[in-house]
């Protein structure tokens, strides 16, 4: 049973956005995820007077846009955030480890975008459409999963519910914005330098991203050969699905896109399904859009997915290695996914967690 099904229809009309959280702080407000969170809060109708935009000492005192107006940035210290009811932490794991316990002690609810608490057994790691039931009782600290994990499980969850999932193989095409605003600036500068016949310089990444593709920039475990991003996908998917031995083969790669990650996915199901059944499960799932026009060769792309709240899925086909005909039941399917990793992959998912917590607080559930 999903969260929405547990709420009487009459209570779905809210007096105002995130009503049980009077004062809402966005920490890391100048970053890509933080500024996306501010724009989502504004779009949700959170009044300017309720919002605190917090940033590092370097940025504090400056201004940041909030809808039509702007906010003065406060420094993200325990003292300045003492009276906050909800904090969306969109900074580093280090900042989260420092601030979260103090904010919670002072009575705040924290939704943390960093990796600091994701694998902590007592902290729920939540994609509302997937395991929103973990938000019952409105826990004071909730971790937001890694962007790649969110996009992947958003698409695989309806298949898990309908057919069970046995093995996941995922190969990524990740935008540079996953590495922060400086990485976006670096790629844009490289395009301009190329156009002006100047040499390409790199400092965020070890090599130019323009006209190149490289293995994900997170550190590689010298024993397993997995990089940090791949290890996150494995550990987080297993935690969210409460399946400690779920077999996952990830390969994480950066490509020269600015925004929205893509993933080529092969999934082996517990129970064979027809392509039509797989399509139906995906098409009827909240938060997904099917973009799958074979005749027009039109499928999900990062360009098309950028700025959208839904995750796009296409190239839905039975796995040719299984030898199933197009109409036959098959145990393995292939998919191509694109999603805006700054929205559903980060800020939007965090706000959706906060909204679900708000509902549980109002209903006392």
Strands of the sheet containing 51-55, edge to edge, are 74-75, 51-55, 24-27, 86-89, 109-112, 141-143
Cα distances from 255 to residues 175, 259, 261, 303, in angstroms, run 6, 10, 9, 13
DSSP state, 23?
Answer: S
- Rounded CA separation 87/35 (Å): 14
Report if residue 328 touches a copy of itself, rule: CB under 8 A.
Answer: no
Are residues 265 and 156 in contact, defined by beta-carbon separation less than 8 angstroms? yes
Report if residue 137 touches a copy of itself, rule: CB under 8 A.
Answer: no
The answer to whether residue 147 is catalytic is yes
Q: How far is the CB of 183 from a copy of itself (least distance, A)?
A: 13
Q: Pick the catalytic residue: 90, 147, 330, 338?
A: 147
Out of 19, 43, 182, 219, point to the residue binding a copy of itself (CB under 8 A).
Answer: 219
The Cβ of residue 298 has, within 10 Å, a number of other Cβ atoms equal to 12
Out of 247, 270, 286, 307, point to the residue binding a copy of itself (CB under 8 A).
Answer: 247
Q: How far is the CB of 335 from a copy of itself (least distance, A)?
A: 9
Nearer to a copy of itself, 67 or 180 (CB): 180
3 state SS of 16: coil
Contacts of 364 (CB under 8 A, 6+ apart): none
- Rounded CA separation 37/58 (Å): 20
Are residues 125 and 145 in contact, defined by beta-carbon separation less than 8 angstroms? yes
Neighbouring-strand partners of residue 314? 336
- Rounded CA separation 240/145 (Å): 9
Report if residue 167 touches a copy of itself, rule: CB under 8 A.
Answer: yes
Out of 270, 303, 307, 363, point to the residue binding a copy of itself (CB under 8 A).
Answer: 303
Nearer to a copy of itself, 77 or 301 (CB): 301
Report if residue 250 touches a copy of itself, rule: CB under 8 A.
Answer: yes
The answer to whether residue 216 is catalytic is no
Q: Pick the catalytic residue: 71, 216, 261, 360?
A: 261
Q: Which stretch binds a copy of itself (CB under 8 A): 8-16, 85-93, 104-112, 321-329?
A: 321-329
Q: How far is the CB of 223 from a copy of itself (least distance, A)?
A: 5
Report if residue 270 touches a copy of itself, rule: CB under 8 A.
Answer: no
Q: How many residues bind a copy of itself (CB under 8 A)?
A: 69
Residue 364, token pair as written in the block: 């006392």
Show the binding pattern over residues 171-200: x = contacts a copy of itself (CB under 8 A), - = does not.
x-x-------------x---xx-xxx----
Nearer to a copy of itself, 44 or 266 (CB): 266
Angle at which helices 147-163 and 275-283 cross, to 10°: 120
Angle at which helices 228-240 and 147-163 cross, to 10°: 40
Within the chain, how many helices (H) and strands (E) appear? 10, 16
Out of 98, 133, 277, 319, point to the residue binding a copy of itself (CB under 8 A).
Answer: 319
Are residues 86 and 142 in contact, defined by beta-carbon separation less than 8 angstroms? no
Report if residue 281 touches a copy of itself, rule: CB under 8 A.
Answer: no
Q: Which residues bind a copy of itself (CB under 8 A)?
A: 167-169, 171, 173, 187, 191-192, 194-196, 206-208, 210-215, 217, 219-227, 230, 234, 245, 247-251, 253, 255-258, 262, 264, 266, 275, 294-295, 297-299, 301-303, 314-323, 326, 332, 334, 336
Q: Looking at the annotation, which residues are catalytic?
A: 147, 261
């Amino acid at each position: 049973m999903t969260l929405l099904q547990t709420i009487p229809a009459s209570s779905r009309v809210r007096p105002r956005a995130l009503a049980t959280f009077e004062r809402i702080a966005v920490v890391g407000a100048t970053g890509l995820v933080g500024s996306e969170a501010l724009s989502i809060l504004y779009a949700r109708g959170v009044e300017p007077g309720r919002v605190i935009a917090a940033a590092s000492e370097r940025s504090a005192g400056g201004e940041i846009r909030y809808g039509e107006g702007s906010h003065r940035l406060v420094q993200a210290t325990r003292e300045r955030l003492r009276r906050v009811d909800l904090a969306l932490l969109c900074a580093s794991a280090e900042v989260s480890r420092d601030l979260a316990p103090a904010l919670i002690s002072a009575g705040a609810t924290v939704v943390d975008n960093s990796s600091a608490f994701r694998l902590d057994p007592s902290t729920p790691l939540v994609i509302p459409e997937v395991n929103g039931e973990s938000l019952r009782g409105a826990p004071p600290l909730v971790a937001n999963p890694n962007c790649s994990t969110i996009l992947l499980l958003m698409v695989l969850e309806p298949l898990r519910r309908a057919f069970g999932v046995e093995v996941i193989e995922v190969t990524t095409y990740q935008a540079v914005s996953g590495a922060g605003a400086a990485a976006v600036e670096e790629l844009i500068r490289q395009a301009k330098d190329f156009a002006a016949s100047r040499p390409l310089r790199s400092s965020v990444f070890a090599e130019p991203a323009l006209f190149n593709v490289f293995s994900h920039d997170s550190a590689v475990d010298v024993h397993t050969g997995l990089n940090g991003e791949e290890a996150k996908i494995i550990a987080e998917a297993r935690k969210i699905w409460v399946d400690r031995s779920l077999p996952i083969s990830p390969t994480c790669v950066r490509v020269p896109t600015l925004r929205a990650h893509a993933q080529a996915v092969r999934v082996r199901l517990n129970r064979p399904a027809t392509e039509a059944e797989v399509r139906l499960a995906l098409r009827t799932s909240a938060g997904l859009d099917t973009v799958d026009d074979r005749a027009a060769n039109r499928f999900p792309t990062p360009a098309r997915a950028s700025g959208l709240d839904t995750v796009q899925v296409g190239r839905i086909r039975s796995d040719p290695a299984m030898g199933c005909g197009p109409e036959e039941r098959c145990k393995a399917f292939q998919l191509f996914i694109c999603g805006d990793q700054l929205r559903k992959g980060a800020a939007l998912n965090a706000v959706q967690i906060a909204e679900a917590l708000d509902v549980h607080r109002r209903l006392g559930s």
